[in-house]
């Protein structure tokens, strides 16, 4: 079935990754518990501990079965702690001879519980996430359906079709195992971009195929859930990235545990944008040094809409498969609000760039205005493809009106769904933060 | 630019917390961001942002008001010299109008901005841009001969009681410019009556009946032609006479997507349909489209009803809101002969009802969502 998304926007930026894959191997690996939303970690290793691929580093305090494991064989060099001794990063130094994989011996699982047990004990379970809240699901729960987004529509996003080229069998096996995990009653939905290379996904069995057409956020799993199987209070839907499905497939097919993945290095400040294969957690400092052009550059794990700024110990986050290098802004312009703005990008038509149909813009990280209260209406609706009132929902979150939040459909959205609203907001509202905090308050109650 | 920004950074330090000039930081911030765009960068969430901000939106509205203002200035002089029989030429007329407008706008801005800055300072906020447009509109909708002290009092009243007591721009539920006009109308009825209009300045000021008053009293013979009303060469407030200039402004607002087409369209439809109904029923000699050209109807529809804060915030609510403004404005005009200009009161009344309309629209949306989800469940 084809779904057409009309509301949204495709931001155009220079620095799309060329279809070329390079290997990246480093010695330092950094695993951060903050990659897993609202997971309180219980540390299982300490500085000096020897770890192997698959050794649990920390587990969730709420459910100790949910553990995050070491992606490499080596020694824990350091546990970096932040405010109130919270664990920020676990730094591991890999052995130079480490092949980044570990062969395992296990019997072919025949039941759902056996699949779940293998995923949990080998640190593959956190690849699954649950809507609402985008948290790692509890091993005891089962969703009403599972979504796999087979494309990413965010700016400069990697092409999943290219990433999984030649890995059809792994992907098919991954889907088969997830089907085994969830049972017959839970449908799996594969959402693809219509007109793209989808051969590797179409090999999957026992799934529903859906095609999406239109601008970002067509590739966001939230948009897809909203169109195919909307969530009401008390219901849960799980989702997983296509690359992670292939990783689960590889695990069952080859009985080898490996956290290798392909990451696109993109953005206007990238010397040679292309793909890199690396193990999850790889310290990308040498890569960034080699690839960055320009003096003041913001390094982001993820895309420019939802990514996280990289600071010390830069590594790609658990759920990201993209790094973006963007020029920092902050230059002050003389009466900028009055000038015609031939080179300014705006979804509104208040700058002349729109009049001259300018297509390319040099984006940077400037806020481009002062923070104000909600004044303009009708702006979010242009980029928000949900049957939800975005401004009313934001206001309900700000006023902590839980009943109104639930009625308006907060369980269907996540902060990433509000990313474009945040971009176009003339009052410079932090829409994603407001939604995330709103969701957190509901999660805690 | 770096020299200016360095200079501003240097001066700005004196306004930081704990420094002697901290009590004026809002004023400094207003001047600083007026001259130079802010240097703030994004921290989390979306790393890039749209170039549009509130200042840009407000300047766009002011650009849209320019045709009406420029024509209004010329027309003020033209009407004056027409009645006194002096041929002053184009620039003479314009200069006369400019001199009439200038004190009004200066008094409005001084009175309003000083209160705005004081409130921003008190709350520790930045000065909001909303008053730039409000202060620009107030002189356009006041009678040109209104005493300056009344303008100052009316502006102060509207800024304090229609906006700041509720929390400032974005929290007000009444359009401040219209509150200022309504204040003058109710507090000083001798200045602004709605049925007589100021024309010229002389030993004893000349005034005549407005077209609306003429119609309502059945005096159709003395009415100016509809072409004159469309072009705007009739006596009236500075901003509202020329419908061509207002339509130019509407074009700017719609092309830049600053104002809502939903509201503009539905106000016009509401006014036209109600006007036509009254005309067909024989209550009013003026038909639907003629109503749209008379008085402040068009100015209200384009610049006042579309105020995003005081209008409804939901898309379907905007149609209901606009339609009711159009209907009410004509109903007040036709039924209430004592006060022929109904646009101001219609918009203010609907400002009050806008949250109720939104409430109903949200409830309907919530119900629809629930229905949609249960439909999906049946399908699956």
Q: What domains can you pick out in chain B, each with its CATH number?
A: 1-49 (no CATH), 54-364 (1.10.3430)
Average pLDDT score over chain A = 91
Q: How much is the pLDDT for B203?
A: 39
Tokens of A195: 């007109």
Q: How much is the pLDDT for B128?
A: 84
Residue B47 has its nearest CB partner, among A230, A304, A333, at A304
Residue B330 has pLDDT above 50, yes or no: yes
In whole angstroms, what is the distance from residue B376 CA to residue A189 CA?
14
Stretch B299-303: mean pLDDT:
94
Tokens of B308: 């995003």
Q: How much is the pLDDT for B207?
A: 55
Residue A258 has pLDDT above 70, yes or no: yes
Residue A2 has pLDDT above 70, yes or no: yes
The predicted-structure confidence for A32-77, as pLDDT tens digits, reads as follows 999 999 999 999 999 999 999 999 999 999 999 999 999 999 999 9
Q: How much is the pLDDT for B303?
A: 94
Contact B37 A338 (CB under 8 A): no
In whole angstroms, what is the distance from residue A216 CA to residue A197 CA?
18
Residue A367 has its nearest CB partner, among B38, B55, B314, at B38
Q: Would you call A97 an interface residue with chain B, using a CB distance cutoff of 8 Å? A: no
Q: How much is the pLDDT for A427?
A: 93
Stretch A316-334: mean pLDDT:
90
Stretch B294-311: mean pLDDT:
92
Residue A375 has its nearest CB partner, among B44, B169, B372, at B169
The predicted-structure confidence for B198-254, as pLDDT tens digits, reads as follows 555 543 445 556 766 666 666 666 677 888 888 888 888 888 889 999 999 999 999
Q: Distance of CA B121 to CAs B29, B37, B118, B125, B258, Å?
A: 10, 20, 5, 6, 29
Residue contacts between A and B (CB atoms, under 8 Å) = 216
Which helix (H) or strand (E) is A74 found in, with range? strand A74-81
Residue A8: pLDDT band with limits 50, 70, 90: very high
Please, how many CA atoms are within 13 Å of residue B90, restricted to the half-sphere of its CB? 2
Q: Would you call A389 an interface residue with chain B, using a CB distance cutoff of 8 Å? A: yes
Contact B48 A304 (CB under 8 A): yes
In whole angstroms, what is the distance from residue B201 CA to residue B198 CA?
8
Q: Would you call A365 an interface residue with chain B, using a CB distance cutoff of 8 Å? A: yes
Which chain A residues have a beta carbon less than 8 Å from that of B49? 366-369, 422-423, 425, 428
Which chain A residues have a beta carbon less than 8 Å from that of B313? 377, 391-392
Nearest to B3 by CA among B42, B51, B35: B35
Nearest to A152 by CA among A193, A123, A100, A111: A193
Backbone angles phi, psi at A381, to 5 degrees: -60, -25
CB A255 within 8 A of CB A106: yes
Chain B from 298 to 327: CB within 8 A of any A CB: 308-309, 311, 313-315
The predicted-structure confidence for B144-185, as pLDDT tens digits, reads as follows 888 999 999 999 999 999 999 998 888 999 999 999 999 998
Q: Would you call A410 an interface residue with chain B, using a CB distance cutoff of 8 Å? A: no
Residue B339: pLDDT band with limits 50, 70, 90: low
Give the chain A residue whose CA is nearest to the CA of B2.
A332
Tokens of B144: 């040109």
Residue A389 has its nearest CB partner, among B4, B37, B362, at B362
In whole angstroms, what is the distance from residue B346 CA to residue B270 CA?
12
- What's the first-to-final CA gap in chain B, in angstroms? 61
In whole angstroms, what is the distance from residue B376 CA to residue A348 CA?
35
Please, how many CA atoms are within 13 Å of residue B272, restricted to the half-sphere of its CB? 9
- What's the first-to-final CA gap in chain A, in angstroms? 38
Q: Distance of CA B305 to CAs A56, B161, B297, B355, Å?
A: 62, 19, 10, 14
Give the chain A residue whose CA is nearest to the CA of B34.
A335
Region at A153 (left for phi over 0; alpha for psi -120 to 50; beta for the rest): alpha
In whole angstroms, what is the distance from residue A197 CA to residue B213 CA?
71
Using DSSP bridges, classify how beta strands A208-213 and A188-193 pair: parallel, antiparallel or unpaired. parallel
In whole angstroms, what is the distance from residue A47 CA to residue A91 CA?
9
Q: How much is the pLDDT for B287?
A: 86
Sign of CA dihedral B226, B229, B234, B237: positive
At A67 the three-state DSSP class reads strand
If you write DSSP's letter for every residue of B306-325 in order, what string do you get?
T-TTTS-SSHHHHHHHHHHH
Which chain A residues have a beta carbon less than 8 Å from that of B26? none
Q: Would you call B165 an interface residue with chain A, using a CB distance cutoff of 8 Å? A: no
Question: Where does residue A19 rank: exposed (0-12), middle (13-18), buried (19+ CB within 10 A)?
Answer: exposed
CA distance A376 to chain B (A): 6
Chain B from 61 to 80: CB within 8 A of any A CB: none
The predicted-structure confidence for A58-69, as pLDDT tens digits, reads as follows 999 999 999 999
CA distance B174 to chain A (A): 13
Using DSSP bridges, classify how beta strands A41-43 and A21-23 pair: parallel, antiparallel or unpaired. unpaired
Contact A370 B256 (CB under 8 A): no
Q: How much is the pLDDT for B202?
A: 45
Q: How much is the pLDDT for B37?
A: 84
Q: Distance of CA B8 to CAs A389, B11, B31, B129, B160, Å?
A: 41, 5, 10, 20, 31
Q: At a CB cut-off of 8 Å and minimum separation 6, what does A35 contact?
A: A317, A318, A319
Residue B56 has its nearest CB partner, among A232, A347, A350, at A350
Q: Which residues of A403-416 are buried (b: 16+ CB within 10 A; e: fewer)?
A: ebbebbbbbbbbbb
Contact B50 A338 (CB under 8 A): no
Question: Where does residue B221 rank: exposed (0-12), middle (13-18), buried (19+ CB within 10 A)?
Answer: exposed
At A413 the three-state DSSP class reads coil
Contact A336 B37 (CB under 8 A): yes
Stretch B87-107: mean pLDDT:
92
In whole angstroms, what is the distance from residue A417 CA to residue A217 CA?
7
Q: What percent of chain B has pLDDT over 70?
A: 90
Residue A265: pLDDT band with limits 50, 70, 90: very high
Q: Which of B28, B42, B380 to mutate to test the interface with A (most CBs of A within 10 A)?
A: B42
Stretch B30-34: mean pLDDT:
84
Average pLDDT score over chain B = 87
Which chain A residues have a beta carbon less than 8 Å from that of B41? 328-330, 365-367
Stretch A279-294: mean pLDDT:
88
Residue B315 has its nearest CB partner, among A298, A372, A381, at A381
Residue A4: pLDDT band with limits 50, 70, 90: very high
Backbone angles phi, psi at A189, to 5 degrees: -110, 125
Give the chain B residue whose CA is nearest to the CA of A369.
B53
Q: Would you call B33 an interface residue with chain A, using a CB distance cutoff of 8 Å? A: yes
If you write DSSP's letter for every residue of B161-219 in order, what string do you get?
IIIGGGTSTTT-SS-HHHHHHHHHHHH-TTT--SSEEEEE-SSS-EEEE-HHHHHHTT-
Q: Which of A188, A373, A379, A398 to mutate to test the interface with B (most CBs of B within 10 A)?
A: A373
Region at A335 (left for phi over 0; alpha for psi -120 to 50; beta for the rest): left
CA distance B36 to chain A (A): 5
The predicted-structure confidence for A215-232, as pLDDT tens digits, reads as follows 989 999 999 999 999 998
CA distance B47 to chain A (A): 5
Q: At a CB cut-off of 8 Å and minimum separation 6, what does B219 contact?
A: B209
Nearest to B54 by CA among A419, A395, A332, A337: A337
Give the chain B residue whose CA is nearest to the CA of A433.
B45
Residue A164 has pLDDT above 80, yes or no: yes
Which chain B residues have a beta carbon less than 8 Å from that of A408? 362, 365-366, 369
Give the chain A residue whose CA is nearest to the CA of B64.
A350
Q: Would you call A409 an interface residue with chain B, using a CB distance cutoff of 8 Å? A: yes
Q: How much is the pLDDT for A120?
A: 94
Which chain B residues have a beta carbon less than 8 Å from that of A419? 45-46
Tokens of B273: 């349909």
Tally of CB atoms within 10 A around B87: 8
In whole angstroms, what is the distance from residue B214 CA to residue B198 CA?
15
Contact B313 A377 (CB under 8 A): yes
In whole angstroms, what is the distance from residue B204 CA to residue A274 CA?
82
Q: Which of B46, B129, B309 to mutate to test the interface with A (most CBs of A within 10 A)?
A: B46
DSSP state of A62: S
Contact B1 A308 (CB under 8 A): no
In the block, residue with structure tokens 């509205």: B61
Backbone angles phi, psi at A342, to 5 degrees: -70, -25
Chain A from 291 to 330: CB within 8 A of any B CB: 298, 300, 304-309, 324, 326, 328-330
Stretch B130-140: mean pLDDT:
92
Q: How much is the pLDDT for B204?
A: 44
In the block, residue with structure tokens 């009243």: B157
Chain A from 251 to 290: CB within 8 A of any B CB: none
Q: Which residues of A343-357 are buried (b: 16+ CB within 10 A; e: fewer)?
A: ebbbbbbbbebbeee
In whole angstroms, what is the distance from residue A94 CA to residue A30 CA?
11
Q: What does the angle CA A91 – CA A95 – CA A101 come to, to the nearest 5 degrees?
A: 90
Q: How much is the pLDDT for A160?
A: 92
Stretch B253-278: mean pLDDT:
95
Give the chain A residue whose CA is nearest to the CA of B41.
A366
Residue B358 has pLDDT above 50, yes or no: yes
CB B257 within 8 A of CB A349: yes
Domain boundaries, chain A: 2-258, 262-327, 367-444
Q: Distance of CA B160 to CAs A386, B115, B169, Å?
A: 38, 8, 11
Nearest to A338 by CA among B58, B65, B133: B58
CA distance A159 to chain B (A): 21
């Amino acid at each position: 079935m084809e779904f057409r998304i009309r509301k949204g926007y495709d931001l155009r930026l220079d620095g799309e990754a060329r279809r070329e894959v390079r290997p990246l191997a480093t010695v330092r690996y950094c695993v951060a518990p903050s990659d897993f939303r609202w997971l309180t970690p219980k540390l299982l290793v300490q500085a000096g501990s020897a770890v192997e691929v698959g050794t649990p580093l920390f587990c969730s305090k709420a459910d100790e079965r949910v553990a995050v494991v070491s992606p490499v064989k080596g020694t824990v060099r350091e546990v970096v702690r932040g405010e109130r001794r919270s664990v920020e990063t676990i730094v591991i130094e890999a052995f130079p001879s480490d092949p980044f994989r570990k062969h395992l011996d296990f019997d072919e699982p025949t039941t759902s519980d056996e699949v779940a047990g293998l995923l949990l004990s080998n640190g593959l379970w956190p690849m699954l996430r649950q809507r609402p809240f985008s948290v790692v699901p509890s091993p005891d729960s089962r969703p009403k359906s599972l979504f796999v987004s087979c494309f990413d529509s965010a700016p400069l996003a990697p092409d999943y079709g290219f990433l999984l080229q030649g890995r059809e069998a792994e992907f098919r096996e991954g889907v088969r195992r997830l089907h085994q995990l969830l049972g017959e009653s839970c449908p799996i939905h594969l959402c693809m971009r219509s007109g793209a290379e989808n051969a590797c996904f179409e090999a999957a069995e026992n799934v529903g195929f859906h095609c999406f057409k239109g601008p970002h956020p067509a590739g966001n799993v939230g948009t897809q859930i909203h169109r195919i199987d909307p969530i009401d209070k008390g219901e849960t839907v799980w989702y997983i990235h296509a690359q992670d499905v292939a990783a689960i497939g590889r695990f069952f097919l080859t009985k080898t545990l490996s956290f290798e993945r392909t990451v696109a290095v993109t953005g206007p400040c990238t010397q040679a944008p292309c793909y890199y294969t690396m193990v999850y957690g790889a310290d990308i400092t040498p890569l960034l040094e080699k690839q960055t052009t320009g003096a003041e550059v913001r390094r982001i794990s993820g895309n420019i809409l939802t990514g996280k700024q990289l600071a010390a110990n830069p590594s790609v986050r658990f759920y990201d498969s993209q790094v973006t290098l963007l020029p920092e802004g902050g230059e002050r312009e003389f009466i900028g609000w009055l000038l015609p703005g031939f080179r300014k990008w705006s979804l509104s038509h208040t700058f002349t760039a729109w009049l001259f149909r300018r297509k390319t813009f040099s984006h940077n990280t400037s806020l481009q205005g002062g923070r104000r209260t909600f004044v303009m209406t009708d702006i979010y609706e242009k980029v928000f493809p949900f049957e939800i009132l975005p401004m009313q929902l934001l206001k309900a979150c700000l006023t902590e009106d839980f009943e109104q939040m639930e009625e308006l459909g907060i369980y269907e959205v996540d902060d990433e769904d509000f990313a474009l609203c945040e971009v176009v907001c003339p009052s410079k509202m932090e829409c994603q933060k407001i939604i995330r905090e709103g969701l957190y308050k509901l999660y805690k109650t | 630019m770096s020299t200016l920004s360095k200079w501003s950074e240097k001066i700005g330090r004196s306004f930081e917390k704990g420094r002697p000039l901290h009590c004026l930081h809002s004023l400094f911030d207003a001047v600083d961001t007026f001259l130079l765009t802010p240097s703030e960068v994004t921290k989390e969430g979306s790393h890039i942002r749209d170039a549009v901000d509130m200042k840009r939106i407000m300047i766009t509205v002011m650009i849209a008001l320019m045709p009406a203002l420029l024509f209004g200035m010329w027309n003020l002089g033209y009407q004056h010299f027409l009645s006194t029989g002096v041929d002053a030429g184009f620039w003479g007329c314009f200069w006369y109008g400019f001199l009439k407008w200038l004190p009004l706008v200066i008094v409005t801005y001084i009175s309003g901005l000083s209160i705005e800055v004081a409130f921003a300072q008190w709350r520790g906020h930045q000065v909001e841009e909303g008053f730039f447009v409000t202060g620009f509109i107030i002189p356009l909708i006041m009678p040109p001969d209104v005493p300056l002290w009344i303008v100052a009092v009316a502006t102060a009243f509207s800024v304090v009681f229609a906006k700041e007591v509720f929390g400032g721009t974005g929290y007000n539920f009444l359009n401040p410019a219209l509150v200022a006009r309504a204040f003058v109308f109710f507090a000083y009825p001798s200045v602004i009556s709605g049925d007589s209009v100021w024309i010229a300045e002389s030993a004893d000021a000349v005034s005549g009946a407005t077209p609306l008053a003429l119609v309502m009293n059945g005096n159709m013979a003395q009415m100016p032609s509809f072409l004159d009303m469309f072009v705007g060469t009739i006596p009236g407030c500075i901003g509202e006479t020329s419908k061509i200039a207002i339509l130019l402004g509407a074009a700017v607002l719609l092309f830049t997507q600053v104002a809502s087409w939903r509201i503009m369209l539905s106000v016009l439809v509401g006014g036209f349909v109600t006007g036509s109904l009254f005309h067909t029923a024989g209550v009013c000699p003026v038909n639907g489209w003629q109503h749209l050209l008379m008085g402040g109807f068009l100015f209200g529809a384009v610049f006042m009803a579309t105020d995003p804060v005081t209008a409804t915030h939901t898309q379907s609510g905007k149609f209901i809101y606009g339609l009711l403004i159009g209907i009410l404005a004509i109903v007040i005009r036709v039924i209430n002969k004592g006060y022929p200009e109904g646009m101001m009161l219609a918009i203010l009344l609907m400002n009050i009802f806008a949250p109720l309309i939104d409430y109903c629209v949200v409830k309907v949306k919530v119900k629809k969502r629930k229905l949609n989800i249960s439909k999906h469940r049946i399908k699956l």
